[in-house]
Amino acid sequence: MKLNRNRLRIVLGLAIICLALPGVLRAQEAEGIYKKKCAVCHGKDGLGKTAKGKKVHVKTVAENMSHSVADQIKIVQEGKGNDMDGYKKEFGLDEIKGLVDYYRSLANK
């Protein structure tokens, strides 16, 4: 009886880890893509103080936090004027959501 309960705990624990894993992996993937593709302009810290970022007048993430996630997803999909390319051909909606989440998380750093 006691053994069964312990086994149950292990199985439940593993199930929880398996359910949480995709989310953790997605967050890590977003960070990797951001650093490779977005940080040139937005900066690793989200402040946009890179050479390219200054040239195209990138704002800090904090300045943009009043904008909705939905609007920001659209901007990453479609791009922004001549300054930022759209990424909808390169990344699916899930990936873009992850990128916007990661972008917004930089406001707290």
The least CB distance from residue 17 to ligand HEC, in Å, is 28
- How far, in Å, CA of 7 to CA of 95, rounded? 36
- How many Cα neighbours within 13 Å face the side chain of 17? 6
- How far, in Å, CA of 40 to CA of 45, rounded? 11
The least CB distance from residue 35 to ligand HEC, in Å, is 10
Site of interaction with ligand HEC (CB under 6 A): 34, 37-38, 40-42, 48, 52, 56-59, 64, 67, 72, 75-76, 80, 83-84, 87, 99-100, 103
- Comparing CB distances to ligand HEC, the nearer of 2 and 36 is 36
